[in-house]
């Protein structure tokens, strides 16, 4: 009996197809079965029948990837994927221009990174551009209000990306530096308090919860230690 089981097991093992022995899938998201369907479609000799098989496969591919329905030219993308998986060997009548391998070998244009450096990364490039625009404003109440809004935004960004607190004087000095001395606020200007900023309140709430959990764990640990001592 054991010999028969061993013989059957060996035959099954020989028939097993490991992933390393299978052909590589061009688009794994569609799965091995879709790839086999497309391989079958390539082998169909009658063109009309081949067209019917291709349209049926497109329907299956659409059902397997419903998220693609929100993509522009949904059907066009499915047909492109069909030809890609077929390694461009499928000769059928497509409702869209039939791509070739060279179409997908073209490299995209190189995107150059900006070469100008940001003085303070936690403020970002957009804030620096806003400062440059504010410099162009004529002196008056509008420029003063805008400058104060920029300073408050700087303080919020500083506290968001730095754990340390910051005084208004530091913000004023950095604003003066970024604007090359062209944006200034009166020394008695009061910026928004750190406790009023949502990001700070959230951090404080998180820290308070951590402290409460730490204290609770310490009390439980101390109670266990006292209970485990022998009198």
N-to-C CA span, the chain: 66
pTM score: 0.42
Three-state SS letters, 167-191: CHHHHHHHHHHHCCCCCCCCCCCCC
Angle in degrees, 0-180, between the axes of helices 141-161 and 198-228, rounded to the nearest 10: 20
Distance CA(167)–CA(155), nearest Å, equals: 9
- How many Cβ atoms are within 10 Å of 38's Cβ, its own excluded? 25
pLDDT at position 91, please?
A: 93
pLDDT recorded at residue 44: 92
163, 169 contact by CB (below 8 A): no
Query: What gap in Å lies between CA 194 and CA 53, rounded to an integer?
Result: 66
Buried (b) or exposed (e) across 130-156, using 16+ Cβ within 10 A?
bbeebeeeeeeeeebebbbebbbbbbb
Q: Within 10 Å of residue 187's Cβ, how many Cβ atoms?
A: 8
Question: Is residue 168 within 8 Å of 191, Cβ to Cβ?
Answer: yes
Query: How confident is the model at residue 69, as a pLDDT?
Result: 72
Q: How many CA atoms lie within 13 Å of 1's alpha carbon, on the beta-carbon side? A: 0
* Residue pointed to by tokens 């340390």: 164
Which H or E run includes 133?
Answer: helix 124-135
Specify whether the CB–CB gap between 106 and 58 falls below 8 A. Answer: no
Do 173 and 155 form a contact (C-beta atoms < 8 A)? no
Q: Which of 98, 96, 91, 89 is nearest to 75 (CA)?
A: 96
Tens of pLDDT along the chain (231 residues) come to 555 545 655 554 554 555 555 667 888 888 888 999 999 999 999 999 999 999 999 989 988 877 777 677 888 989 999 999 999 999 999 999 988 888 777 677 787 776 667 788 888 888 888 999 999 998 888 988 999 999 998 988 888 887 677 888 888 998 999 998 889 888 888 888 777 666 554 554 555 555 566 666 666 666 666 655 444
Length of the chain: 231
């Amino acid at each position: 009996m054991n010999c028969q089981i061993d013989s059957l097991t060996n035959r099954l093992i020989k028939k097993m197809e490991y992933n390393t022995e299978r052909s590589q899938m061009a688009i794994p998201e569609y799965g091995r079965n879709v790839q086999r369907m497309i391989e079958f479609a390539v082998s169909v000799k009658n063109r009309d029948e081949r067209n019917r098989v291709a349209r049926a496969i497109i329907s299956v591919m659409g059902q397997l990837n419903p998220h693609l329905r929100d993509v522009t030219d949904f059907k066009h993308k499915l047909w492109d994927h069909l030809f890609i998986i077929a390694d461009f060997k499928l000769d059928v009548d497509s409702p869209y221009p039939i791509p070739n391998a060279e179409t997908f070998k073209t490299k995209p244009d190189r995107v150059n990174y900006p070469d100008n450096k940001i003085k303070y990364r936690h403020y970002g490039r957009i804030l620096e551009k806003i400062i440059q625009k504010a410099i162009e404003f004529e002196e008056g109440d509008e420029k003063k209000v805008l400058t104060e809004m920029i300073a408050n935004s700087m303080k919020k960004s500083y506290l968001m990306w730095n754990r340390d607190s910051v005084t208004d004087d530091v913000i004023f000095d950095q604003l003066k530096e970024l604007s090359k001395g062209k944006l200034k606020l009166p020394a008695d200007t009061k910026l928004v308090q750190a406790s009023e900023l949502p990001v700070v309140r959230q951090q404080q709430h998180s820290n308070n919860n951590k402290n409460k959990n730490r204290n609770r764990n310490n009390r439980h640990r101390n109670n266990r230690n006292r209970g485990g001592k022998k009198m």
